[in-house]
A = this chain, B = another copy of it.
Amino acid sequence: MSAATLNSAPWDARTLAGWREPHLANVESALSRWVGVDAPVLLGDAMRYAVLDGGKRLRPLLVLAASEAVGGNAAAALRAACATELIHAYSLVHDDLPCMDNDVLRRGKPTVHVKFGEADALLAGDALQALAFELLTPEGDEIPAATQALLCRLLARAAGSQGMAGGQAIDLASVGIALDEAQLREMHRLKTGALLQGSVEMGAACGTVSPAALAALRDYGAAIGLAFQVVDDILDVTADSQTLGKTAGKDAAADKPTYVSLLGLDGARAQARQLLADALAALERSGLADTAALRALAHMVVDRDR
């Protein structure tokens, strides 16, 4: 089903599925071709274990949907999609290490350090981050150098100390501390939101877009980035470990501040609906014709059960 068809339909899960399946297949196939293939044996195995066969691939889908909305270069978008997933995957590998969350279960499987040992898990995460930037900078002229450079800039900012890694550091420092909603939002804006918003921006960077439309896409990315975390906090309380594929209830157990601890369950759910409305309003404001997939992904973020 084309994005154009999607565009004229009201959103429902089946409509998204028709757009998502072929895009997911492309991403899975590309990741399998690109990740860990020529790496030394154990390192390559750990990299592939961390990335393949699991995950919602939300960030890649956001890249691809945003790129389609701006008529982007498909080869660039596929590479950018995979690069965002590699950054996400490396962050999970490092986040699960004993010195961080010390988690043993991820996507229903033993975490990378449980399976390969801490040292190889550490190195696999490091190598995945480097590979993300390698994917963005292929030789040849299929992807213009200006696009390559812009994609690297956006990804580096989203991943670094003023993005994901910075948010994780604030998260670390905030255990047991009473954050207010503004502080909690700022932490999540960096920790989870920066890479989700960055994925939308990277998709947009694969094509051409007016400053106004880009600003609207950034607002969309910010809203779903925050919505993702609010829903994560809700699921941490309401879902079981088997459905989540990771340990449920661990934030509450770790005495971490969450949207649920701050707003209550109903308050958090209302917040998620409001952020969905904000995201959809931003897409309207963008003036872009072909935003059906982005709309559907916003619904997916809020209505997911894992």
B99 x A118 contact (CB < 8 A): yes
Q: Known contacts being A149-B148, A152-B148, is A36 close to B99, with CB within 8 Å? A: no
Is A211 in the interface zone, CB < 8 Å from B?
no
* Bound CA–CA A42/B169 (angstroms): 8
Q: Return the chain B residue nearest A139 by Cβ.
A: B153
A159 at the interface (CB under 8 A from B): yes
Instruction: Decide yes or no whether A299 CB sits under 8 A from chain B.
Output: no
Q: Tell me the chain A residues, 143-160 only, with Cβ under 8 Å from chain B.
A: 144-146, 148-150, 152-153, 155-157, 159-160
- A30 interface residue per 8 A CB criterion: no
Q: Are A40 and B170 in contact (CB under 8 A)?
A: yes
Q: Which stretch, A13-21, A128-136, A238-246, A281-289, touches the partner chain B?
A: A128-136
CB of A251 within 8 A of chain B? no
Chain A contact residue count (CB 8 A cutoff): 58
Tell me the bound Cα distance from A94 to B122 in angstroms: 8
CA distance A42 to B157 in the complex (A): 18
CB-CB under 8 A from A139, the residues of chain B are 153
A40 touches B119 (CB 8 A): no
Residue contact A40 to B152, C-beta cutoff 8 Å: no
Does A248 lie at the interface of the complex (its beta carbon under 8 Å from any beta carbon of B)?
A: no
Say whether A153 contacts B137, CB under 8 Å. Answer: yes
Bound Cα distance from A142 to B131, whole angstroms: 26
Q: Are B137's CB and A43's CB within 8 A?
A: no
A133 and B155 within 8 A (CB): yes
Question: Residue-by-residue, is A25-47 near B (CB-CB < 8 Å gives 1, otherwise 0)?
Answer: 00000000000101111111001
* 9 additional A-B residue pairs with CB within 8 Å, beyond A90-B126, A97-B122, A123-B165: A39-B161, A42-B173, A44-B161, A94-B123, A99-B118, A120-B172, A134-B156, A136-B152, A137-B153
Q: Which residues of A contact B (CB under 8 A)?
A: 36, 38-44, 47, 90-91, 94, 97-100, 117-120, 122-123, 125-127, 129-134, 136-139, 144-146, 148-150, 152-153, 155-157, 159-163, 165-166, 168-170, 172-173
